Amino acid sequence: MTAPLQSILGHLEQLVAHDTQNPPRNLNPESSLFATLREALPGFETSIDDGGEGCLGFLATRGTTDTLFNVHIDTVPATDAWTKDPFTLERGNDRAIGLGACDIKGAAACLLAAAAETDAPAAFLFTTDEEAGSSVAVRRFLETSPRYERVIVGEPTQSIAVTRHRGIYAGTLTLAGEAGHASQGGLSAVHEAARFITQALTESWAKDDRLNFGRIEGGIKPNMIAPSCEIQFGLRCMPGENPDPRVERLRVLAGAALETDTTRFWGPALPPADPEARFRQVELNEYFYGLDIEVGSPVDFWTEAALFSKAGLPVAVLGPGDIAQAHTADEFVLYDHLTTAYNAYLKILTDG
């Protein structure tokens, strides 16, 4: 095992040991996690922006640089399907196993190891609220942050630079029925939901735009006609596509039973649909080619990189791990991915 990998795993072990599950997002500026980060970053100036409810941005800077690295260090909750202690890093033959090892504490560990290898200027923004879909920390940072020539967001891309990904829209539809005794028949909100979902999934765009119905809740008991049913859904449109026509089509399909509809979360695609943003991303590809860092195809998952791009900053997603391992029980990251990400981060840091 190489010295850099040993360093990375040492940092990753410490990071995994901190419970940063989101929800419940039980973090505050005094949490021991931040003491760990400060200890790993000697010579850095640090500050914490507290957006409330555990939405924190930890900024660490050394000198002045053109590049900002951003990594979220919150994780999804550990489920009962875990067969190991999720907060104790297990080192296998070719992988490290632990909650957040893939998504995305592995990237944070790579950054900490790379920062120790060079005295080059650096800027790291670690955030705690990505997994709950609020992105308060990044949004607050963008309101007052200095401008950077480029931003690197750590997410599981198998250590390949990605400059395009889908947007995300999450919404809730509530369908109404008429309460009554099931023996008499009548308008059931649950039946209307089943009809609506069946129709929606046959739309020509449903598969391509990753239409997903993630939660359905309604009714009271089997002998009662359901008076209400809530449906939570999501869409992931490609760059340049607007989700609004799709959402409007869903409203039409819901028909007269539609009682309310709300937007839970909307994140733009990377890049947003304007020529200047697309040009910035093309220039960023050239930057990576010049450093001999592999550039990959667009990915289907959404990241907070889109928020940086919308704010006018060239941004790429680059981090160890495979998205197929994110949010899974016994989550792991391959050593090869960690080493490749470390080398890429080190090139970017020393390039300035």
What is the rounded distance in angstroms from the CA atom of residue 47 to the CA atom of residue 55?
14
- The answer to whether 3-165+269-351 and 168-267 have equal CATH topology is no
The whole-angstrom distance between residue 6's C-alpha and the CA centroid of its chain comes to 27
Whether 72 has a binding-site annotation, put simply, is yes
Domain boundaries, the chain: 3-165+269-351, 168-267
135's tokens: 């992105």
Judge whether 162 and 318 are in contact, CB under 8 Å.
Answer: yes
Quote the DSSP letter at residue 329.
T
- In the numeric block, the tokens 């309604």 are attached to 218
pLDDT digits (tens, 9 = 90+) for 66-79: 999 999 999 999 99
* Residues acting as catalytic residues: 130
Whether 80 has a binding-site annotation, put simply, is no
By C-alpha distance, which of 340, 302, 326 is closest to 102? 326
Taking domain 168-267, whether its CATH number is 3.30.70.360 is answered by: yes
pLDDT digits (tens, 9 = 90+) for 297-348: 999 999 999 999 999 999 999 999 999 999 999 999 999 999 999 999 999 9
What is the rounded distance in angstroms from the CA atom of residue 247 to the CA atom of residue 203?
12
What is the rounded distance in angstroms from the CA atom of residue 332 to the CA atom of residue 330?
6
178: left (phi over 0), alpha (psi -120 to 50) or beta: beta
Whether 103 has a binding-site annotation, put simply, is yes
Quote the DSSP letter at residue 158.
T
198, with CB counted inside 10 A (0-12, 13-18, 19+), is exposed
What is 3-165+269-351's CATH number?
Answer: 3.40.630.10
pLDDT tens sequence for the chain (352 residues) = 899 999 999 999 999 999 999 999 999 999 999 999 999 999 999 999 999 999 999 999 999 999 999 999 999 999 999 999 999 999 999 999 999 999 999 999 999 999 999 999 999 999 999 998 789 999 999 998 778 999 999 999 999 999 999 999 999 999 999 999 999 999 999 999 999 999 999 999 999 999 999 999 999 999 999 999 999 999 999 998 999 999 999 999 999 999 999 999 999 999 987 888 889 999 999 999 999 999 999 999 999 999 999 999 999 999 999 999 999 999 999 999 999 999 999 999 998 6
Quote the DSSP letter at residue 233.
E
